[in-house]
Each structure stands twice: as structure tokens, then as C-alpha cells.
Structure 1
Amino acid sequence: METKDRKKHRKKFYRKKNSGPKAEKKKKRHLQDLQLGDEEDARKRNPKAFAVQSAVRMARSFHRYKTEVKKTNKKHHIPVVDQTPLEPPPIVAVVTGPPKLERKLTEIRGPVTIVSGKKHRLAIIECVCDINMMIDLAKAADLVLMLIDASFGSEMETFEFLNICQVHGFPKSMGVLTHLDSFKHNKQLKKTSD
């Protein structure tokens, strides 16, 4: 009986060492194999296993990355200050016509600004028969009021100003007939209008 018991005791299963310097070296080696170097080798050996599994998930991650990049770029760029004025500039109306049309205002030189609403202003400027002034006002004008003597008809100055306006960006223009009160009969008025 003793021999059988001895045989039982002799049959021991192999146990791995869990402590000691050799066991620690093996653990370190195993951890190094699990790290990135091993994953890169696996990607090289089998690229299909590491390919994109879901196109939708890939698109979402791509768009998420894009928005993150935009947000970081916004932080880097200096915001541009809005320098538009609180009140818009006035609408420039130019009054032009030949001399002796009684369009002059008494004792006022330069532009006259009229407040027409909460945020609307009108600047009225008289244009004298000077070519330099005509050119400057044709560039700046938003609206041109051309005074025409009804008894005489349109004169050379009116056509000059029209030609200058065509060259320098044609503004909105209106013809205004004056001296209509000098006509006593309607027949005369019809003849001059024709």
C-alpha cells in the first residue's frame, strides 16, 4: 500500500512560477507584446481585419473631427469688429439746372440735411453750372433733380449733366418742370410739351 501512496504523491501537475525574477521578466515581455508594437505588426500582416467596419460611423467621426477643428480655429482667429455706423449716411439729392431758374435758397451755402424719418436723412445739394462740381456731384449723388424751364425747354447744361452722369455711374434722375404758372392757356402748355 505504501507504494501506491508514494506514486500518487509523485504525480504532481506542473505549476508556473508566479513570483521571482524569471516570472517578472516573462510578465514584462508579455505586456510589451500586448502594446502598440504588436498591434502595428498585426495591421501589416492582416489589414482587412483593421479596415473600416461601418461607413456611417466613419462619416460621423469625420464630421465630428471637422467641427472640432473649426472650433479650435475660431479660437485662434481674431474676431473682426463690426464698424458699420449706427445711423446710415443720408441720401444725397442733387438739384441741378441752368441759371436763372430761381432754385437758390437764401443765405445757405453747401448741403442742407433734412430728417425724414427715424433713421432716414436727406442731404440736398445745389449744383452750379461748373463742370468740376458736376463731376463730383454725379459721383456722389443718389438722386438727381433736373430743373427744366417749361417755357424755354431743356438747355445745354441739362444735357451736359446727363452726359456726365452716364460716365460716372448713372444715379436715379427726375425731371422737374418749372415756370408752369407763366402759361395762361392750356394750348400753349400742350405745344411746348410736344
Structure 2
Amino acid sequence: MRRVTLQIDGKGVEVEEGTTILKAAERAGVEIPTLCYHKELSPYGACRICLVQITREGEKRRRCVTSCTYPVEDGLIVYTNSEEVMKARRFIIALLLSKAPESDRLKRLALEYRVIGDSPDELAAHLFKRASERDPTNCILCGLCVRVCSEIVGMKAISFAHRGMMRRVQTPFDKISESCIGCGACAYLCPTGAIKIEEAY
């Protein structure tokens, strides 16, 4: 397969054509945060935390793309930690944290990117104030559970339903799914702990 050369944060990288920016960055030792990405599943780009800016030589305009879905091109210039990227990432983390305030993974990202204060105590105080406003489901609609059930387990026991603000993950017709084999893959991959497995006796 043809190889292409690009720049990631000023570092020259050569990878196979068709590789995503995220995978190229991993190979170059550049870390890009993700929530909805898993190497064994098709890329989805729902969480938007992996946003990067791209441009080409001679172009002044930069644009934001999701690194987990965008394929590399020859001569591409990628910025993973520009001021605009960091600002967008902080905003996205804040939005997701308001939806899933109990998520340890989101709390770690919020502290790392200084979304709300510099300490766990400041973050905890903010989340406590927001507790009455939150949706208790903790689902951020990343799609990991739906994709693992369909692509790896092969059962399609859960899927997305509705649109816009009403969109959610549910079983067909919101009834007990006869397709579910109880493997727990959906709960295992859920980044926010929205899916809980309970044993029935």
C-alpha cells in the first residue's frame, strides 16, 4: 500500500495511506484523548474529544476534524494541541461532564485540561452544585455499546433510538431484548458507567 508523509505537531510522520490521524499520531508518540474510540471497532467520532486542526502547506486556514475518522493525506499538517484545539476540547469535556458527572474518566480529563479548577476539590464542588440539574442516565451517546454489540458480539441487542435531544440507547421497542446474551461487553466498554450489569438469581 502507498505510504504518505504528514506533519503532526511539527514532527514528520510516514504511514500507510488510509490510516487515520489518530493512529498516525499514536505511531508518532503523540497522545490524543478519546472516549468513543476503540481499536477493534469502526470509528464513529461521536465524542469529539479527539478533535485536531488540519491544514496543508500554503494554506492559511485551519479546520477542526475528528482524528479517529479523518484519513491522512500526503502533505497534511496536523495540530493536536493548538490554542483553538485546547479551547474546543475543554468545552466538549465540560458539556460531556454535565451529562455524566459521575464518570471517573471524564473527571480525569476535566482535571487534566483544567476545565473546572485545578484540583479534585474544586471539580467536586462544581459537580455537587450541578447535581440537581443532571440527567441520571450518564450516557454521552458515544456509541461504544451499540458498536461492540453489533460488530464484535454480533447480536444487535441495543441500538440508538429517536433523534436530537430525545436520542438514546435502548433495546428494540424498549422491551427486554431477546438478542441479548448477557455478555457484558456493553458495560465493560462504557466510558461513563451508564450501563450496569446486575445478576439475577
State which structure, 1 or 2, has the greater radius of gyration over its C-alpha atoms: 1
What TM-score results when the alignment is normalised by the length of structure 1?
0.19
What TM-score results when the alignment is normalised by the length of structure 2?
0.19
